[in-house]
Amino acid sequence: MATEAKKKIGILAGRRRRHVRILLALATAAVVAGAGTTIVLTQRGTATAAQDAATLPPQPALVTATPQVAPLSEDAPAPTPQALAAALDPVAANPALGNFTGSVTDARTGAVLWSRGPDTPMTPASTTKILTAAAAMLSLPPDHRVTTEVVQGSRPGELVLVGHGDPTLTAQPVGQPGYYPGGPRIVDLADQIRRSGTAVDSIVVDTGAYTGPALAQGWIPDDVAAGYIAPIEPVMLDGARSDPLADEPPRSATPALDAGRALAQALGVDPARVTLGTATPDTDRVASVQSAPLRERLGVMMRRSDNILAETIAREVAAGKNAERSFAGATEAVVQVLYDAGFKTDGVTLHDGSGLSVDGRIPARLLDAVLAAAAGESEPRLRPMLDDLPVAGATGTLSDRYATGDRVGAGWVRAKTGTLSVASALTGYVVDVDGRVLTFALMSNDRPPGESRPALDAVAGALRLCGCR
């Protein structure tokens, strides 16, 4: 798994929030025990070394490891609403939670066992990605890929790089990883062009697959240089990162042109001869590469809370519904897919697919309902989402939560985090001490994350400890 750096919490003067992600790498250590033998030779008087050799103890019997994941019991008792309320109400009353809402559901029955203002629209931050992921899983095949192609230009020597929405293209040399596992390579496009025998002296980059503004309502333009986001264009290198292997380095303000310049350099063309333009309809394709399957990209999006992937995947949902591939078209398509699947979408206001917008609103009820559908029997297409959620104290954006101090939720809480300067959220599931799976959505507004995140963790920890029968 790629190394995940910590997200810095920086609140600019006069700004309303700063997006926060804390990403750390999980290192898994395997300890292998082996028997070693040391022979010590000594000499006493006339005794020989062989006679005085230390007597070796018998070697221990070999141990065969048989690790396994045991299924949960079908007979695990469900918490009662009364007992659950007695366990959660005291921690949910923590003033550090500010304006707090929440919902807890029994995954097996789908019954809501506890709630606090579940219909109130709240700033969701990156838990918005749960809706984006769910809409993608419900409307697109898991092996769906995005193509980036090069076609003939309008004159001899001109080629057009046409982006269709893949930000995972990398200019890294063969043998060196890009940021996104399985991402396609500029060098492969260049190799195909050379094998075709096509002469090239200039590159045009076509960004017409996307329409509308490149930055969403509720985004702070300074977040581009801060490394949290980039202008959303249909072709990028490593999500527009200035350092292709860093989690959140400064992003480029011209992602598509950067990709065109990288292709020009790989072909020995002057990068100054790269411009923005439009491909002529029905021209011949010269080269193409494809993204990793949607299923793999969704996993990266959720574990790393990748804003760029969230925005481009939301536009894939829009394309699948024949909607405009813009912020407006993508968010409308995401909500429509969820509505068509039977989810109650009242109170939802989306301006992006990542949750970076401070103007987005989602009720806890909907986030919990999506997780309950994934963990229960009602919507098997959502089940892979459970594998993509970070693990408390171990992986992704939960790697440093429950890692020290109160570790009650470590390994048991799996959830998508969401953090802005005055909004924190935690949506996922936990197995309680009785072996029952409980899904939850916990949302705090109007408090800085330094206060609200530990308080949210305490609520999820109380769910883990609750033998609430």
87, containing H or E segment? helix 81-92
Q: Which of 128, 133, 126 is nearest to 420 (CA)?
A: 126
8 annotated active-site: no
148, containing H or E segment? strand 147-152
Pair 429, 438: CB distance under 8 Å: yes
Lookup: tokens for 39: 């022979």
> What whole-number distance in Å separates Cα of residue 338 and Cα of residue 192?
40
126 annotated active-site: yes
Residue 457 burial (CB < 10 Å; 0-12/13-18/19+)? buried
- The DSSP code for 200 is -
288 annotated active-site: no
Q: Which of 103, 115, 126, 444 is catalytic?
A: 126
Lookup: tokens for 44: 């006493």
Q: Which of 103, 115, 129, 421 is catalytic?
A: 129
- Report the chain's C-alpha Rg in angstroms: 27
What angle in degrees, to the nearest 10, is found between the helix axes of 327-340 and 128-139? Answer: 70
Q: Which of 197, 172, 93, 3 is nearest to 462 (CA)?
A: 93
Number of C-beta neighbours around residue 70 at 10 A: 6
> What whole-number distance in Å separates Cα of residue 124 and Cα of residue 420?
9
Q: Which of 305, 326, 357, 424 is catalytic?
A: 305
Q: Which of 353, 357, 358, 334 is nearest to 345 (CA)?
A: 334
Residue 269 burial (CB < 10 Å; 0-12/13-18/19+)? buried
Where in 20-111 does DSSP place strands (E)? 99-106
Which residues does the annotation mark as catalytic? 126, 129, 305
